[in-house]
Amino acid sequence: MSHDIRIVTEAELRDVVTLDLETVDVIEAAFTALASGTVVMPPILSMELKEANGEVDVKTAYIPGFDGFAIKVSPGFFDNPTLGLPSLNGLMILFSAKTGLVQAVFLDNGYLTDVRTAAAGAVAARHLAPETVRTAGVIGTGVQARLQAQAAHLVRPFERLLVWGRDGEKAKACADDLRQALGIEVQVAPDAEALVRESTLVVTTTAAREPVLRADWLHPGLHITAMGSDQPGKNEIDPAALFAADAYICDRVSQCETSGELEAALASGHWTGGRPAELGEVIAGTSQGRIDPQAITICDLTGTGAQDTAIATHVFSRLDSAGTIIEV
Amino acid sequence: MSHDIRIVTEAELRDVVTLDLETVDVIEAAFTALASGTVVMPPILSMELKEANGEVDVKTAYIPGFDGFAIKVSPGFFDNPTLGLPSLNGLMILFSAKTGLVQAVFLDNGYLTDVRTAAAGAVAARHLAPETVRTAGVIGTGVQARLQAQAAHLVRPFERLLVWGRDGEKAKACADDLRQALGIEVQVAPDAEALVRESTLVVTTTAAREPVLRADWLHPGLHITAMGSDQPGKNEIDPAALFAADAYICDRVSQCETSGELEAALASGHWTGGRPAELGEVIAGTSQGRIDPQAITICDLTGTGAQDTAIATHVFSRLDSAGTIIEV
């Protein structure tokens, strides 16, 4: 018995799904499901290709009630820029959760990952940032710096944005892009400290292996989303800040322990708070997030297979005639 | 910078690659590489979908010197036959080992897995079975029963084949198919014991969770390839047989310990032989396989990501114009 498989390219996917509130709701539902304890999410498969300065990660999750489950393959080959190629690539495959048949192959070059990652930032800001944010800040100047700022603005429509990165030229380009995208005041901050001190909502989007945000910069009413760390050894936030905050929230504790900010905090002995809460538990109301407007909150996003399954299923439902149909 | 991705269906793949001595050599090279210690092969990612009586496995391996690496996704949904669908499906994705870019998606429904699995049986027979095999036996009556018999015949052209399975009708159908495919005498054996006692080369191809082959049936000059167990809890061979044999050889020790015949033998205390040898080590001559024609040998095949990378790379080199090209 033959069946059809939809092959959809990045360009086609960009027409189907974008970073908007509907996408944020889809990703929020994945976090809520994750907190219910019924999601099956195995550990990430990770392989290093040292000779090519490359790595590849495979994520998946089954969310009961979803028609499909995604398997997402993310290669990162860090010498690619010297060949004129992007470092990050990859694809997602959507399978029927009832029969295991392949339904679609999304040749997205990481686009769906970019969107679902940014959407998770919006979910974190929606549930953890103070109700009113006038100034936000983003540390880092890449694709996620741009997308995270836009995602945060969807749920906390701040009037002013600060950008900081090690490379001043890139920071200026990022600020220019975001000024145009958001239509608000966007400035390059003189340093990370000034950015944090002036912001109510900060998103860190770097691949740092030494903290870019120090604990003594924390101030009442600050929310930080740290989304850059997703591999052992990465560390954006001063380990002392996690315990100093009123609430430190993980997307998935088991991942944050090995690949998120919690890794360094555990290793340095700065984390003595027991099992942190997860974002889905805060959404579901079973764990406490922000207790008052003056609280300091930190959300650690490593990226989950549940987000991949959620975005892939969402995209599939909106494909209409997009893509190439292959009969197998 | 755009690049082309080749999408190739099962039907197209069947025209490109088949179970022959060339394929056997390709898979043998993967085992040799595995023994060299330079292959990177992470643990299998495995996810169970209990509600759908399904499971999905993801395998990969990087073999230095190969242009690409494969990621293979194998869903098994065991209620599918009630829907008129096969239980096993899946696909393979070939990535450049230099840039991580997707090169090809093989929508093979498990065909390449079938071929590379059978080819491994031929590699095992080539290096472990007695030089002369007059009668061979296959236990099980499914796709692998057919392919394993053909694979063994490529390297040990026996004159007579015995088939046995729990379902007599299926055993007869399997015997009929193999008589036609091999052009030799093929009979249904009255029971598994008779099959083993009359055969020099036996392949077990079942999903059994209780042994189908007993230790007291072993006889001088017997080689057994057990390829059915690939998940915790599966067990085809009486645990006592492993230690009773002169040589018990794994495709990959770390996999056989948890998902192969070694699992039950370790659990029951029947295996006290230390670390078994691997097939690649026998091929490379660094471990001993068959020591004389009267020895008893057992080879345990759980299936490796290295085989997937080898077959996918091989297929890609032979595609010519096959498949659909998608520009991304």
In the 3-class helix/strand/coil scheme, how is chain A assigned residue by residue? Answer: CCCEEEEEEHHHHHHHCCCCHHHHHHHHHHHHHHHHCCCECCCCEEEEEHHHCEEEEEEEEECCCCCEEEEEEEEEECCHHHHCCCCECCEEEEEECCCCCEEEEEECCCHHHHHHHHHHHHHHHHHHCCCCCCEEEEECCCHHHHHHHHHHHHHCCCCEEEEECCCHHHHHHHHHHHHHHHCCEEEECCCHHHHHHHCCEEEECCCCCCCCECHHHCCCCCEEEECCCCCCCCCCECHHHHHHCCEEEECCHHHHHHHCHHHHHHHCCCCCCCCCEEHHHHHHCCCCCCCCCCCCEEEECCCCHHHHHHHHHHHHHCCCCCCEEEEC
Q: Which amino acid type is present at position A314?
A: H
Query: What is the nearest CA distance from A72 to chain B, expressed in angstroms?
Result: 11
- Do residue A183 and residue A37 come from a single domain? no
The whole-number average pLDDT for the span B177-199 is 98
Helix (H) or strand (E) holding B224: strand B223-226
- Do residue B158 and residue B176 come from a single domain? yes
The residues facing A224 across adjacent strands are A202, A298
Give the span between the Cα atoms of B305 and B295, in whole angstroms: 30
CB A8 within 8 A of CB A319: yes
A83 contacts in B (CB within 8 Å)? 99
Q: Which CATH number characterizes residue A193's domain?
A: 3.40.50.720
B171-179: list long-range contacts, CB under 8 Å, 24+ apart. Answer: B171/B141, B173/B141, B174/B138, B174/B141, B174/B142, B174/B145, B174/B146, B177/B146, B178/B138, B178/B146, B178/B149, B178/B150
Q: Domain count of chain B?
A: 2
SS3 B92: strand
Task: State how far the alpha carbon of A139 is from the alpha carbons of A62, A225, B136, in Å.
Answer: 33, 10, 67
Q: Which residue is listed with tokens 């101030």?
A: A219
- Do residue B242 and residue B277 come from a single domain? yes
Q: Which amino acid type is present at position A304?
A: T
- Do residue A192 and residue A272 come from a single domain? yes
Selecting from A47, A54, A109 the residue whose C-beta is nearest the C-beta of B42 gives: A47
B77 contacts in A (CB within 8 Å)? 98-100
Q: Which of 230-269 (A) contact B at CB < 8 A?
A: none
- Structure-block tokens of residue B194: 């008779």
Q: Which amino acid type is present at position A190?
A: P
Give the span between the Cα atoms of B77 and B55, in whole angstroms: 6
B99 contacts in A (CB within 8 Å)? 52, 54, 77, 80, 83, 85, 89
Is B322's Cβ below 8 Å from some Cβ in A?
Answer: no
Selecting from B40, B99, B324 the residue whose C-beta is nearest the C-beta of A326 gives: B324
Higher-confidence residue of B236 and A65: namely B236
Inside any domain, residue A122: no
Is A2's Cβ below 8 Å from some Cβ in B?
Answer: no
Inside any domain, residue A119: no
For B102, phi then psi, to 5°, come to -70, 130
The whole-number average pLDDT for the span B135-164 is 98
Give the span between the Cα atoms of A198 and B177, in whole angstroms: 77
- Do residue B98 and residue B134 come from a single domain? no
- Do residue B135 and residue B94 come from a single domain? no
A76 contacts in B (CB within 8 Å)? 100
Q: Which residues of chain A have pLDDT under 50?
A: none
Give the span between the Cα atoms of A129 and A292, in whole angstroms: 10
Q: Which residue is listed with tokens 């998770």?
A: A120
Q: Which amino acid type is present at position B85?
A: L
Give the span between the Cα atoms of B202 and B125, in whole angstroms: 9
CA angle centred on A192, ends A277 and A232, rounded to 5°: 45
SS3 B192: helix
- Do residue B127 and residue B105 come from a single domain? no
Q: How confident is the model at residue B1 (pLDDT cuts 50, 70, 90)?
A: low
Residue B231 has pLDDT above 90, yes or no: no
Task: State how far the alpha carbon of A140 is from the alpha carbons of A55, A87, A186, B54, B83, in Å.
Answer: 22, 16, 14, 42, 51
CB neighbours of residue B292 within 10 Å: 9
Give the span between the Cα atoms of A86 and A107, in whole angstroms: 15
Give the chain A residue whose CA is nearest to the CA of B102: A90
CB B133 within 8 A of CB B201: yes
- Do residue A317 and residue A266 come from a single domain? no
Helix axes A21-36, A143-155, angle to 10 degrees: 90
Q: Report pLDDT for A1.
A: 67
State CA A120 to chain mean position distance: 5
Query: What is the nearest CA distance from A325 to chain B, expressed in angstroms?
Result: 10
The residues facing A46 across adjacent strands are A57
The residues facing B94 across adjacent strands are B70, B104
Cβ distance B52 to A107 less than 8 Å, yes or no, reads: no
- Do residue A81 and residue A48 come from a single domain? yes
Least Cα distance to B273 among B288, B292, B294, B293 occurs for: B288
For A300, phi then psi, to 5°, come to -110, 115
Q: Which domain holds residue B71?
A: 4-113+306-327
Sheet holding A201-204, edge to edge: A185-188, A160-164, A135-139, A201-204, A223-226, A297-300, A247-250, A277-278
Is A51's Cβ below 8 Å from some Cβ in B?
Answer: yes
CA angle centred on A19, ends A14 and A22, rounded to 5°: 110
Give the span between the Cα atoms of A127 and B232, in whole angstroms: 41
- Do residue B236 and residue B87 come from a single domain? no
The whole-number average pLDDT for the span B9-36 is 96
Q: Which CATH number characterizes residue B70's domain?
A: 3.30.1780.10
- Do residue B79 and residue B137 come from a single domain? no
Question: Considering chain B, what is the average pLDDT of its residues?
Answer: 96
Query: What is the nearest CA distance from A98 to chain B, expressed in angstroms?
Result: 6
Helix axes B21-36, B111-128, angle to 10 degrees: 80
- Structure-block tokens of residue B127: 């290096």
Inside any domain, residue A120: no
CB A129 within 8 A of CB A201: yes
Selecting from A11, A47, A100 the residue whose C-beta is nearest the C-beta of B76 gives: A100
Helix (H) or strand (E) holding B277: strand B277-278
The whole-number average pLDDT for the span B53-77 is 96
Q: What is the largest CA-CA distance in chain B?
A: 64
Give the span between the Cα atoms of B217 and A272, in whole angstroms: 59
Sheet holding B45-49, edge to edge: B45-49, B54-61, B68-77, B91-96, B102-107, B4-9, B324-327
The residues facing A247 across adjacent strands are A297
Least Cα distance to A31 among A153, A120, A147 occurs for: A120
CB B107 within 8 A of CB B92: no
Inside any domain, residue A121: no
SS3 B87: coil
SS3 B200: coil
Helix (H) or strand (E) holding B24: helix B21-36
Give the span between the Cα atoms of B256 and B260, in whole angstroms: 4
- Do residue B148 and residue B282 come from a single domain? yes
State CA B32 to chain mean position distance: 16
